[in-house]
Chains A and B, each alone.
Chain A
């Protein structure tokens, strides 16, 4: 039985208002920006003012001229012009955008399934009777929490082609467009396979022993046990992990930023990366807003597709 009473709003509302103010409001603002062309201009004016001493008298140079110093006035003016849906139309035409979409989709479609599969395989391995499991499990947690930027730079040194530890392989890890994307994917797989692994291992440990025993009595092989016993039981967990990884992978940014700078060329420039560059490096704020809205819509679609399942998980 749950309680009622007005006091519940005192508990709940601060957080709701906070999210409305800091997430929903910016999203609305961003949607507005997407319909404008925003140009920022920096106006710089220099003004010479006389130098005064402590008593307020003018100071003169040795040649008798009044000493002056220059004050620089910087004024940033922003001009916004309503352009209707022009930013969105530009988005559809922009080749850079489509390249970034392709990079992002390739990344998501390769990295996420790899993480789930590897994570599942490792969970099966660790679910056996093995030595030192607590220590090994703890070791596997570490990558998840490594600062992504640090991971990116760390792998940058590992993939360094001349003198790096993998240099003997002669693979152009960072200089060839295809390999650069593979390298970025590898780093993400390194960081997030442990997450899938941990969650699946936890879920496996909740599978009652009777289920295995019943399957074994029925003469099921290892593969059949996985397919007919484990997968159905783990399905809700798999969907949660898939959703969380999809949502995260769609916004990947830090690792290419650190490792490849989006290159070579634009081979590893993800969609978030392009939106960041457009907005914060080229200050094309309206267009960048339209661009990030595109991503937002895709993520929302993924969330809504999984919404029913999610709602059940948090019942």
Chain B
């Protein structure tokens, strides 16, 4: 290993490419396995040989998918998850984007910008279980248990610090001169924000929105605590696949796929922003 980057000799490139491909396939396997399972006839669940490749190892069927997508409970879970994740993402963006802008552009003296940023950041790493019980009691006394609204509020709270910290970095990276020019022309700070900074930050805001959509979609602890019937989300519905009639692997396959497809697709769309996003802006992607 004499160099890391410029070693382009055919043989070692091939060997390392091969290793990399095997690694990527290994990481893909669990997702693939759920997919394979979702296509199996219940009778085939445990008898399929090899890697469970459709048509090679068994005759695939779409019946499980049709069954699950036709069930009102599944549909309700899908609708709930979508409403909750979209609602929480929008709410967090509306609250968080101006705050991020304030931290990037204005001078705060007490406390300082840095400290406010780290305060937001520290909210993100708090263990959610610490707010679980008070949240449950508050929602119970407000009569909001088992509603989409309760889940929107809590998820927006979880992703808000994320929005502030990430978008602060985005605004810092924009040239301040354009906004200053807008204000010299007689515009207010609001004009500078809405007609100059926001359009320039739009791609990053959209990517942030996608990532926090995925976070809220995947959230489970609060979803299972605050919802029981009407507001259950996809992960909670998934948890129900086990205790009802024993373990039904073929349904679990479908439900796992339904649960993971939206956040995974979203991640692929927002790929370019993921490193920055997941390290809360600390590492440039």
Binding site for B on A (CB under 8 A): 2-5, 7-12, 14-16, 18-19, 22-23, 25-27, 29-30, 33, 122, 124-133, 136, 138-151, 153-158, 160, 162-163, 165, 190, 193-195, 198-199, 202-203, 206, 209, 212, 216, 221-222, 225, 236-237, 240-241, 243-244, 247-248, 250-251, 253-254, 257-258, 272, 275-276, 279-280, 285, 288-289, 292-293, 295-296, 299-300, 302-303, 307, 310-311, 313-315
Q: CB distance A216 to B283 under 8 Å?
A: no
Establish whether residues B130 and A157, one from each chain, have CB atoms under 8 Å apart when the complex forms: no
B172-203 vs A, Cβ < 8 Å mask (1 yes, 0 no): 00000000000000001110010000000000
In the assembled complex, how far is the CB of residue A264 from the closest CB belonging to chain B, in whole angstroms?
Answer: 16
Task: Report the Cα distance A143→B51, complex, angstroms.
Answer: 19
6 nearest A-B residue pairs (beta carbon): A163-B46, A222-B1, A15-B99, A11-B102, A8-B106, A247-B125
Whether the Cβ atoms of B134 and A26 lie closer than 8 Å is yes
Neighbour of A289 across the interface among B98, B133, B190, CB < 8 A = B133
> Are B130 and A154 within 8 A (Cβ)?
no
Q: A220 CA to B45 CA in the complex, in Å?
A: 54
Given contacts A2-B106, A3-B106, A303-B122, contact A18 B278 (CB under 8 A): no
Given A151-B30, A257-B220, A299-B125, are A199 and B283 also a contact pair (CB < 8 Å)? yes
When the two chains form the complex, which single residue of A128, A145, A158, A280 contacts B5, counting CB atoms closer than 8 Å?
A128
Contact of A296 among B17, B127, B137 (CB under 8 A): B127
Closest to A149 in B: B235
Interface residue ranges of B108-161 to A (CB < 8 Å): 108, 113-118, 120-123, 125-138, 153-154, 156-157, 160-161
Interface contact A11-B106, CB-CB below 8 Å: yes
User: Which of A148, A280, A285, A314 has most B Cβ within 10 Å?
Assistant: A314
CA distance A209 to B45 in the complex (A): 52
Within 8 A of A (CB), among B76-100: 95-96, 98-99
Contact call A153/B242, Cβ cutoff below 8 A: yes
* Given known contacts A11-B98, A165-B52, A2 and B107 CB-to-CB distance under 8 angstroms: yes
B27 in contact (CB, < 8 A):
yes
Asked if B214 is at the interface (CB within 8 A of a chain A CB), the reply is: yes
Q: Report the minimal beta-carbon distance from A201 to chain B, rounded to whole angstroms.
A: 8
Determine if B133 and A285 form an interchain contact, defined as CB atoms under 8 angstroms apart: yes
Q: By the criterion CB–CB under 8 Å, are A293 and B130 in contact?
A: yes
Known: A150-B235, A199-B275. Is A276-B256 also a contact (CB below 8 A)? no
Minimum distance in angstroms from B125 CB to a CB of chain A: 4
In the complex, residue of chain A having the shortest beta-carbon distance to the beta carbon of B193? A11
* Cα distance A143–B218 in the bound complex, in angstroms: 12
**Which chain B positions have C-beta within 8 A of A150?**
34, 235, 238, 255-257, 259-260
Cβ A23 vs Cβ B4 within 8 A: no
Give the nearest-CB partner of B26 in chain A.
A190
CA distance A29 to B235 in the complex (A): 28
Would A163 and B220 count as touching, CB distance under 8 A? no
A-B contact count (CB 8 A): 328
Q: Is the CB of A23 within 8 A of B132?
A: no
Q: Contact at A15–B98, with CB atoms within 8 Å?
A: yes
Contact of B24 among A8, A16, A136, A293 (CB under 8 A): A136
6 additional A-B residue pairs with CB within 8 Å, beyond A122-B23, A131-B17, A199-B278: A4-B107, A8-B108, A131-B13, A154-B30, A202-B275, A212-B4
Contact B267 A141 (CB under 8 A): yes
Q: Which A residues lie within 8 Å of B137 (CB)?
A: 29, 33, 285
Neighbouring B residues of A285 by C-beta, 8 Å: 133, 137
Are the C-beta atoms of B52 and A22 separated by less than 8 Å? no
Contacts of B218 in A (CB 8 A): 145, 147-149
Question: Least Cβ distance of A182 to chain B in Å?
Answer: 16
**A206 to B279 alpha-carbon distance, docked (Å):** 16
Q: Report if A30-B7 is in contact (Cβ < 8 Å); known contacts: A11-B101, A23-B157, A157-B37.
A: no
List, sorted by A's number, 20 A–B pairs whose CB atoms are closer than 8 Å: A2-B113, A3-B105, A3-B106, A3-B189, A8-B102, A25-B134, A27-B134, A30-B130, A129-B6, A141-B267, A202-B283, A222-B1, A237-B283, A247-B125, A248-B125, A257-B239, A280-B133, A280-B136, A285-B137, A307-B118
Q: Are B120 and A19 in contact (CB-based, < 8 A)? A: yes
Name the residue on A nearest B252 (C-beta).
Answer: A153
Is there an interface contact between B283 and A157, defined as CB atoms closer than 8 Å? Answer: no
B279 x A240 contact (CB < 8 A): yes
- The answer to whether A11 and B220 have CB atoms under 8 Å apart is no
Q: Once the chains bind, are A244 and B279 in contact (CB under 8 Å)? A: yes
Q: Does B60 contact A (CB under 8 A)?
A: no
The 0/1 profile, CB within 8 Å of A marked 1, for residues 1-18 of chain B is 111111110000110110
Report the bound CA distance from A254 to B225 in whole Å: 13
Please tell me if the beta carbons of B160 and A19 are within 8 angstroms of each other in the complex: yes
Q: How far is the CA of A36 from the CA of B48 in the complex (A)?
A: 55
CA distance in complex: A279, B130 (Å): 11
- The distance in angstroms between the C-alpha atoms of A257 and B189, with both chains bound, is 49
- Inter-chain CA distance A194–B95, complex, in Å, is 31
Cα–Cα distance between A7 and B264 once the two chains are bound (Å): 39
